[in-house]
Structure 1
Amino acid sequence: MNLLTKIPLSKPKNPIDYSSQLLLLGSCFSENIGAKLEHYKFQGLQNPFGILFHPLAIEKLIQKSVNQELFIEEDVFYENEQWHSFDAHSCMSNPSKEKIIIDLNEALSSTAAQLKKASHIIITLGTAWVYRNTLSNEVVANCHKVPQSNFTKELLSVDEVAESIKRITTLVESINSSAQFIFTVSPVRHLKDGFVENQRSKAHLIAAIHQTIATENLLPRLSYFESYELMMDELRDYRFYAKDMIHPNEVAIDYIWGRFVEVWIDDSTAMMRKVDEVQRGLQHRPFNREGDLHQKFLKSLAQKIAYIKKEYPFMDFNISKA
């Protein structure tokens, strides 16, 4: 008996393996997938400017990184006892003006470096709704709890999203002509925008991505992964949502990750199992740290880590915390 409608997913020609260099940008769902990739010790950089919800925010920071447009004092502002940037998430905010500028420019540097060597760039779009600062007339990445009267709310059209995606790919191509783009739409529902408004937003994002794939002749270097569709169709039940009934819960994230592995991870599952075994071992909390059993356990764990690092020296495990 088939209890769900299974979405057919196509395998790409250039999948991810342990030699891949990854860059993940976008909404909070990119952090869910990023956490999985980090757990399994894949190489990459995840959201160096924090969560970015819409394509214009991602585009602007890629542009600044590629063109090495450094942040200066005029790019930050003081609100609620913190310095912020309208171009970055609040995780970058800081009580020190000097420190936030340093952090933002370090993020620019690390992003530029990863863009140049990235084999796969995974971009998760969360919404097509944007907020425009009425004073500067600039679309912001984050409002940082500045009064809403300082912004106008706009819905990007399908064409506007598609044009932004094309500019993103063109910017990256100027420094890295071989990167594979994986676009996906976050299954997180933005219900503060409204139920109908959320659906309109997701529809614009999905249509724009596929419009770009179809018209820009970027295949196979631009692909779509069906995160949103997996949540909406294969996991069509509120038991797969967190308590807020908006975010996917751990079961849903694990399921979508599993489908991602099926499609995008190439011949690495055996090593992934070994890495996972070590990661679980590092989380083990013994009854007696000085006892013989735990010392034997640590010796066995160290041998497993040595085996993995012999093949993949870049992997780093902190056995001292075990």
Structure 2
Amino acid sequence: MNLQTQIPLKPQQYNQIDYNSKVLLLGSCFSENIGNKFAYHKFQSIINPFGILFHPIAIEHLITRAINKDYYSEDDVCFHNEQWFCLDAHSKLNKASKDELLSVLNSQIDETLDNLVNASHVIITLGTSWVYRHIESDKVVANCHKLPQKQFLKELGSVDTITESLQAIITLIKSVNPKVNLLFTVSPVRHIKDGFIENTQSKAHLITAIHNVVEPRQQLYYFPSYEIMMDELRDYRFYSSDMLHPNDVAINYIWEKFKTVWLSVDALQTLDKIAAIQTKKEHRPFNSNSESHQKFLSKLHLEEADICAKFPHISF
């Protein structure tokens, strides 16, 4: 008896990710979930230099500024609740000092550009079609930073608007890195604060817009994170306590699916060795001075050295 619908997935034939690949992940908190898997397994990866970005227009703004080296000035930052912040960035970049914030923002501009130029793969996870427009500046923001709601207008991005934004993202990235592989996905996190019907409409706009631009022959791909969560993990036991975010079981499940499609055979073999090393490093001995533990450590160091010799960018 089959108690689960399975989304058919095949290994990607070309341009798979291996340990020589450089991966940049941008977008929603689900980008961070998958990005943490890349980091744990020691891939060359960077996650959200400007923090979590929920919608495509925020990602487009970041990429545009980075490629144009459009550095931030004091006119671009604000002060509220005893912190300096930027409406283009997540609150994790907030600082107590204006100069410190500007320094961080502009260093992230440089880092983002460097990663866009050198990335073999850019993975973009979109979370919502809903955006907030700052009334005073008439600009769509990445984050409202808990400013009074009356300062913003809430808008639903149309399919055409999102498609245009994605096309701009593709054109911008390929202008500095023509050979890059762009992989789009939709976050399975439900934005219920927008409303149940509104969340469904939002996800539908994202999915439709992505499929308007995806073209494997141009190295533009789609991975069905959202569909896996909705169809294969159709049960609240796969959600966190808020019943909105995928829990660790779901994240691990989607990661396993991603691995089968996008990681090369050699990468999978290396990943298994690194995962084993990471597990051993978490081991806590009863007696750290025992002979058996010292042998365990010696063997572990040899395993680490073997990986590092093959991939010098890896450190444990």
Q: What TM-score bracket applies, with the shorter chain setting the length? A: over 0.9
Q: Which residue of structure 2 aligns with residue 296 of structure 1? A: 295
Write out per-residue CA displacement over residues 233-282 of structure 1, whole angstroms, 9 at most, x where no aligned residue. Answer: 00000010011000000110010000000100011111111100111122
Structure 1 residue matching 2:113: 3-state secondary structure: helix
The alignment's TM-score, normalised by the length of structure 2, stands at 0.97
Is it true that 1:84 corresponds to 2:85 in the alignment?
A: yes
Q: Which residue of structure 1 aligns with residue 36 of structure 2? A: 35
Unaligned regions of 5+ residues in structure 1, if any? 318-322
Give, in whole Å, the separation in 1 of the partners of 2:298 and 2:107: 38
Q: Which residue of structure 1 aligns with residue 5 of structure 2? A: 5
Q: Which residue of structure 1 aligns with residue 260 of structure 2? A: 262
Report the CA distance between 1:287 and its aligned residue.
Answer: 2.6
Q: Which residue of structure 2 aligns with residue 238 of structure 1? A: 236
Q: Which residue of structure 1 aligns with residue 176 of structure 2? A: 175
Report the CA distance between 1:285 and its aligned residue.
Answer: 2.0
* Paired residue type of 2:310: E
Report the CA distance between 1:203 and its aligned residue.
Answer: 0.2
Is it true that 1:44 corresponds to 2:45 in the alignment?
A: yes
Q: Which residue of structure 2 aligns with residue 248 of structure 1? A: 246
Is the contact between residue 28 and residue 54 of structure 2 (CA under 8 Å) also seen in structure 1?
Answer: yes
* Paired residue type of 2:295: K
Unaligned regions of 5+ residues in structure 2, if any? none
Write out per-residue CA displacement over residues 121-153 of structure 1, whole angstroms, 9 at most, x where no aligned residue. Answer: 000000000000000000000000000000000
Is the contact between residue 238 and residue 250 of structure 2 (CA under 8 Å) also seen in structure 1?
Answer: yes
Structure 1 residue matching 2:229: 3-state secondary structure: helix
Judge which range, 271-280 or 283-292, deviates more. 283-292
Give, in whole Å, the separation in 2 of the partners of 1:135 and 1:162: 26
1:1-322 → structure 2 map (5 Å cutoff): 1-12=1-12, 13-213=14-214, 219-267=217-265, 268-317=267-316
Structure 2 residue matching 1:174: 3-state secondary structure: helix
Give, in whole Å, the separation in 2 of the partners of 1:10 and 1:171: 29
* Paired residue type of 2:280: G
Give, in whole Å, the separation in 2 of the partners of 1:219 and 1:83: 44
Q: Which residue of structure 2 aligns with residue 320 of structure 1? A: none
Structure 1 residue matching 2:46: 3-state secondary structure: strand
Is the contact between residue 10 and residue 260 of structure 2 (CA under 8 Å) also seen in structure 1?
Answer: no
Aligned length: 314
Report the CA distance between 1:283 and its aligned residue.
Answer: 1.6
* Paired residue type of 1:235: L
What percent identity do the matched residue pairs reach?
54
Give, in whole Å, the separation in 1 of the partners of 2:283 and 2:100: 37
Report the CA distance between 1:220 and its aligned residue.
Answer: 4.2
Give, in whole Å, the separation in 2 of the partners of 1:298 and 1:189: 44
Give, in whole Å, the separation in 1 of the partners of 2:290 and 2:88: 52
Write out per-residue CA displacement over residues 281-301 of structure 1, whole angstroms, 9 at most, x where no aligned residue. Answer: 222222333333332221111
Give, in whole Å, the separation in 2 of the partners of 1:150 and 1:287: 58
Structure 2 residue matching 1:18: 3-state secondary structure: coil
The alignment's TM-score, normalised by the length of structure 1, stands at 0.96
* Paired residue type of 2:66: S
Give, in whole Å, the separation in 1 of the partners of 2:97 and 2:284: 38
Structure 2 residue matching 1:6: 3-state secondary structure: coil
